[in-house]
Amino acid sequence: MSLNRRLLTDADFEEALQKGTRIRVFQDNHIVDASSVIVRFDEHTVVTQSTVSDLMYHKRSACEFFDLRKR
């Protein structure tokens, strides 16, 4: 079972980026990205990648981001 931790601050996103942990992204209470890693982020956008050719761009203000950690 995994432990979900919400990513809110730049430090949270930087930690997930450096560690390469998988994240989940929710938008309007729906999962839009189930298991990907953060490639890049800034104050407006988070870029995630789940496969070699699959990049997704998420607005930070419109989405919720959760770090997936194993217990």
User: Which two three-digit tokens encode residue 64?
Assistant: 């919720």
- The string of pLDDT tens digits covering residues 47-62 is 999 988 899 999 999 9
- The string of pLDDT tens digits covering residues 1-43 is 567 899 999 999 999 999 999 999 999 999 999 889 999 999 9
How many structural domains are present in the chain? 1
What CATH number is associated with residue 27?
Answer: 2.30.30.100
Tell me how far apart the alpha carbons of residues 17 and 36 are, in angstroms, rounded to a whole number: 11
Q: Could you tell me if 23 and 17 are in contact, meaning their C-beta atoms sit under 8 angstroms apart?
A: no
Could you tell me the pTM of the whole model?
Answer: 0.88
Q: What is the pLDDT of residue 69?
A: 76
Strands (E), the chain: 2-7, 23-27, 30-41, 45-51, 54-59, 63-70
Tell me how far apart the alpha carbons of residues 3 and 36 are, in angstroms, rounded to a whole number: 16
Domain of residue 37 covers 2-70
